[in-house]
Amino acid sequence: MFNPFLKNRENLVVYLLIWIVIALFHWLALYYLLQITLEDAILDSLVYNIFYAGIGISLWYPTRFITFESYSMPRLLLNHLMAAIITSIIWVFLGYYILSNFLIKEKVYYEFINDSLAWRFVVGILFYAIIVSLNYVIIYYNNFREKELKESELNSLVKEAELKTLKYQINPHFIFNSLNSISSLTISNPEKAREMTIKLSDFLRSTLSKNEKMKTILSEELKTIKIYLDIEKTRFEEMFEYVEDISNECSSIEVPAMLLQPVFENAIKHGVYESIEKVIIKMNCKKDGEYLKITIENNFDPEAVPRKGEGIGLTNIKSRLKLIYNQENLLTFTKENNIFKVNIFIPILSKELINEREN
Amino acid sequence: MSEKIRVIAIDDEKLAIDVIKEYLKKADKVELIAECRNGFDGLKTISELNPDIVFLDIQMPKINGFEMLELIDDPPVIVFTTAFDQYALKAFEVNATDYLLKPFSESRFLEALEKAKKLLKDKNKADEKIESLEKYNENNSECIERIVVKNGQKIIIIPVDDVDYIEAQDDYVMLHSSKGKFLKQKTMKYFDEHLDANNFMRVHRSYIVKINSIQQIELFEKESYKIILKDGKNIPVSKSGYSKLKEIFN
């Protein structure tokens, strides 16, 4: 945070104007009420007020460091009291020294200034109190504004994330095309049509009931994915094949729900939908040290022009993984020799770690 | 007409074609002469068999239904079949070319077929409809990501990123890309409006340039400028083009 009086020209002008008004009153009081000569009154007012205008600007720095958060109330007050006394004494005597030694030679004035030192000291304390209080108000106002801004940013982020989730769940193209396949199968193969209806229902139910905050075990997650792939297989028949290699120890490892679904949707969308060659989707799961390593790959048509939005799904998953596990690079992908390959690393949490997190 | 009406169905899902096949059995004097599973195949089959009516899916691999249609010089009557395509739907609303939303009923299908048959008798009207659909596509301001062109018998898909510049050529435009030059039957206005304005700029009445391919801008004659591309080609710049260029490069 910058010194508010120096932050921009307007603030500085306002600050100096206030001092000019104070100096004016100061001069008027000396000249009219206390019968000091015009010249002496002007000099007195100028010296003392210019000094405090300077001191006032520098008071910002102690205010910044003596905060309510880091000091108890009595200590804070004590600190400021000491600072107020010291600045006032310096101010009063510096002014006195300059005025009496260099500027003013008149005897009447000497008497007056000697009598008024105590009053000046009180005014110095008062100035200190006013400026420091003002600084605290400014600091708290700024903090409040900043917090408000952050909150609204956070809110829009949350909304965006929710919107993206919604988009995943409802893919109208997939649903209507699947319904069309069912319509077709009722003519040629009613039994298969019934099977497909059930699969589509199971898939929709599972998608609608899960959300991205949940966790599930790998084998559960794969069940939904199998249903999804079965439906697409009915639609595209010989156009694609799914091969999986999952080691037994992986099945019961906990993974975030709906994490792999978009990866498979991607493979279908950019592989099968865009290619006139057969597409093979391969999945491989194994333990790799402290991680569950999941690899999903598919061949694709290199001539297919990347569509808008490609990669957004994967970026989403990456940031989700980062959010959950607080680690970077848990998802990587490569495009080589017409093979698109996604690697996902899911940290395997030990029982104690899980308990710790839940508490 | 004593002859049978010849129909082709183009869809990347076999089951979707099966439905059309089944419904056509009930129709009078109509014959399904071919099934195609992608746009390339569709294009070839249409030029070989010259069908009367085509049932055409929109989302297909390689080239979509609209892009395929762009490459046909004398298109047959088209009935679109689609599951869900917001832009396409809007296109149909302003256009009388019929469309079927999947899944569709037999009666709805036969209705579309009747409409298509009527259009068949009135070739002018059919052409008009295709034209107005194309016009609609031109007016919608979605940015394009690829351009499909025909080079002899070959179909070439050019990602817009591969295009260096576009040059007006009578009723056509010449696309200059890293793969070579290709003629495309579209207007400069179309490309001006459908290429991403962050990457492409109309620098002259007859030229649109990819900003990334610009090497430098030079004074050509008094108060007139030209662009030198990275591959050394020179492109004239109009006054308004120059002020637009100045805005980005400063």
Put simply, whether B179 touches A (Cβ < 8 Å) is: no
Q: Which one-letter amino acid corresponds to residue A307?
A: R
Q: Residue A176 and residue B13: Cβ atoms within 8 Å?
A: no
pTM above 0.90, yes or no: no
Average pLDDT over residues B14-38: 93
Residues of chain A in Cβ contact (below 8 Å) with chain B: 172-173, 176-177, 179-185, 187-188, 234-237, 239, 273-276, 301, 303-308
Domain ranges of chain B: 5-139, 147-249
Chain A CB contacts of B68 under 8 Å are none
- Of residues B16, B38, B86, B107, the one with CA closest to residue A178: B16
Strand-pair category, B163-169 with B207-210: antiparallel
A185, A304, A306 member nearest B15 (Cβ): A185
Report the distance separating Cα A128 and Cα A134, nearest Å. Answer: 10
Domains and CATH numbers, chain A: 9-165 (no CATH), 238-358 (3.30.565.10)
- As a whole number of angstroms, the distance between CA B235 and CA B61 comes to 36
Q: How far A226 CA lies from chain B's nearest CA (Å)? A: 20
Counting one residue from A and one from B, how many pairs have CB atoms under 8 Å apart? 76
Among A172, A183, A236, select the one facing B19 at the smallest CB separation: A183
List of chain B residues whose C-beta atoms are within 8 Å of the C-beta of residue A307 = 145
Output the pLDDT for position A198: 96
Closest CB to B18 among A188, A273, A276: A188
What's the CA gap between A256 and B136, in Å, rounded? 45
Cβ atoms < 10 Å from Cβ of B226: 17
A193 to chain B, closest Cα gap in Å:
11
Question: Which pLDDT belongs to residue B73?
Answer: 82
Q: What confidence score (pLDDT) does residue A167 get?
A: 53
3-state secondary structure of A236: helix
- Residue of chain A minimizing CA distance to B146: A305
Using DSSP bridges, classify how beta strands A291-299 and A279-288 pair: parallel, antiparallel or unpaired: antiparallel
- Chain B CA closest to residue A184: B19
Using a CB-CB distance cutoff of 8 angstroms, which residues of chain B are in contact with residue A239? 12
> Are the CB atoms for B218 and B226 separated by under 8 Å?
yes
User: Among partner residues A235, A304, A307, which is closest to B15 by beta-carbon distance?
Assistant: A235
Query: Which of the residue ranges A73-82, B94-103, B115-124 would you say has the lowest mean pLDDT?
Result: B94-103
Q: Is B156 on the interface with A (CB under 8 A)?
A: no
A196-221 confidence digits (pLDDT tens): 999 999 998 888 887 766 788 899 99
**Which of A174, A233, A303, A305 is the best mutation test for B, with the most CBs of B within 10 A?**
A305
Contacting B residues, span 188-217, partner chain A, CB-CB under 8 Å: none
With an 8 Å Cβ cutoff, are B61 and A304 in contact?
yes
Of B38, B102, B145, the CB nearest to A276: B38
On whether the CB atoms of residues A294 and A344 are closer than 8 A, the answer is yes
The 8-class DSSP code of residue B96 comes to: -
Contact yes or no for B83 and A180 at CB 8 A: yes
Mutate to test the interface with A, among B15, B24, B37 (most CBs of A within 10 A): B15
Distance CA A283, CA B238 (A): 56
- What pLDDT, on the 0 to 100 scale, is given for residue A40? 83
Answer yes or no: CATH 3.40.50.2300 is held by domain B5-139: yes
How does DSSP assign A25-53, residue by residue?
HHHHIIIIIS---HHHHHHHHHHHHHHHH
Q: Is the pLDDT of residue B126 over 90?
A: no
Within 8 A of A197 by CB-CB distance, chain B residues are none
Contacts of A317 (CB under 8 A, 6+ apart): A259, A262, A263, A331, A344
- A-facing residues of B in 109-148 (CB < 8 A) are 145-146
CATH class of this structure's domain B147-249: mainly beta
- pLDDT per residue rounded down to tens, chain A (359 residues): 678 777 788 888 988 999 999 999 988 888 888 878 888 888 888 888 998 988 888 888 888 888 877 788 888 889 889 999 999 999 998 888 888 887 777 777 777 888 888 888 999 999 999 999 988 898 888 889 888 888 877 777 776 666 566 555 567 888 999 999 999 999 999 999 999 999 999 998 888 887 766 788 899 999 999 999 999 999 998 889 999 999 888 999 999 888 888 899 889 988 888 888 899 999 999 998 889 999 999 998 887 766 555 667 788 788 888 877 878 889 999 988 899 999 999 998 765 455 555 55
| Beta-carbon separation of B102 and A179 below 8 A | yes
**A291-295, B179-183, B197-201: which is most confident:** A291-295
